[in-house]
Structure 1
Amino acid sequence: MAHPPLVSAEWLHRRLAAPDIVVLDGSWYLPTAGRDPEAEYRDAHIPGAIRFDIDAMSDAASLPHMMPRPEVFASRMRALGVGDGMQIVVYDGHGLFSAPRVWWMLRTFGVGDACVLDGGLPAWIAAGHPTEEGKPRLRDRRHFSARLDHGAVADADDVARALETGTAQVVDARSGPRFRGEELEPRPGVRPGHMPGALNLPYAALLSDGHLKPPDALRTVFAENGVDPDRPIVTTCGSGVTAAIVALALETLGRPARALYDGSWSEWGADVARPVATGPVRAAR
Structure 2
Amino acid sequence: MGERNKWLVDTEWLEAHLDSPDVVVVDGSWHMPAEERDPEAEYNAEHIPGSVFFDLDGIADLTTDLPHMLPTSEAFAKAVEQLGISNGKTIIIYDVAGIRTAPRIWWTFRIMGVEDVYILDGGLPKWKAEGRPVTDETTIITKGKFAARFDRGAVCNHAEMLRAIDIPDVEVVDARSNGRWRGTDPEPRPGLSSGRMPGSKNVPFVGLIDESGCLKDTEVMRQQFLDAGVDLSKRIITSCGSGVTAAVLTLALDTIGVKSLGLYDGSWTEWASREDSIIERD
TM-score range normalised by the length of the shorter chain: over 0.9
Aligned to 1:20: 22
Task: Please give the per-residue CA displacement for 1:88-142, whole angstroms capped at 9, x wherever unaligned.
Answer: 000000111100000000000000110111110011111221111142112x112
- Judge conservation of contact 1:206–1:212 (CA < 8 Å) in 2: yes
TM-score by length of 1: 0.93
1:100-111 → structure 2 map (5 Å cutoff):
100-111=103-114
Task: Please give the per-residue CA displacement for 1:183-238, whole angstroms capped at 9, x wherever unaligned.
Answer: 22222442221111111111011111211101111111111111133321000001
CA distance in 2 between counterparts of 1:194 and 1:257 reads 22
1:48-127 → structure 2 map (5 Å cutoff):
48-62=50-64, 63-127=66-130
- Judge conservation of contact 1:235–1:257 (CA < 8 Å) in 2: no
Bigger mean CA offset, 92-101 vs 154-163: 154-163
1:1-285 → structure 2 map (5 Å cutoff):
4-62=6-64, 63-138=66-141, 140-209=142-211, 210-279=213-282
Secondary structure of 1:208 counterpart: coil
Query: How far off is 1:257 after superposition?
Result: 4.9
CA distance in 1 between counterparts of 2:208 and 2:79 reads 31
- Judge conservation of contact 2:219–2:256 (CA < 8 Å) in 1: no
- Judge conservation of contact 1:247–1:256 (CA < 8 Å) in 2: no
CA distance in 2 between counterparts of 1:88 and 1:34 reads 28
- Judge conservation of contact 1:41–1:134 (CA < 8 Å) in 2: no
Task: Please give the per-residue CA displacement for 1:2-51, whole angstroms capped at 9, x wherever unaligned.
Answer: 99211111111111111100000000011233432122111211100001
CA distance in 2 between counterparts of 1:214 and 1:33 reads 30
Aligned to 1:283: none
Secondary structure of 1:41 counterpart: helix
Secondary structure of 1:38 counterpart: helix
Gaps of 5+ in 2: none
Q: How many residues align?
A: 278
CA distance in 2 between counterparts of 1:242 and 1:8 reads 21
Residue identity in the other structure for 2:91 = I
Q: Give the ranges of 4+ consecutive aligned residues of structure 1 lying more than 4 Å apart after TM superposition.
A: none
- Judge conservation of contact 2:234–2:260 (CA < 8 Å) in 1: no
Identical-pair percentage: 45
- Judge conservation of contact 1:91–1:99 (CA < 8 Å) in 2: yes
TM-score by length of 2: 0.94
CA distance in 1 between counterparts of 2:143 and 2:194 reads 44
Secondary structure of 1:170 counterpart: strand
Task: Please give the per-residue CA displacement for 1:228-283, whole angstroms capped at 9, x wherever unaligned.
Answer: 3332100000100000000011122122452100010111100011110002xxxx
CA distance in 1 between counterparts of 2:204 and 2:256 reads 18
CA distance in 2 between counterparts of 1:192 and 1:169 reads 20
Gaps of 5+ in 1: 280-285
Task: Please give the per-residue CA displacement for 1:133-156, whole angstroms capped at 9, x wherever unaligned.
Answer: 142112x11210111100000011
Secondary structure of 2:165 counterpart: helix
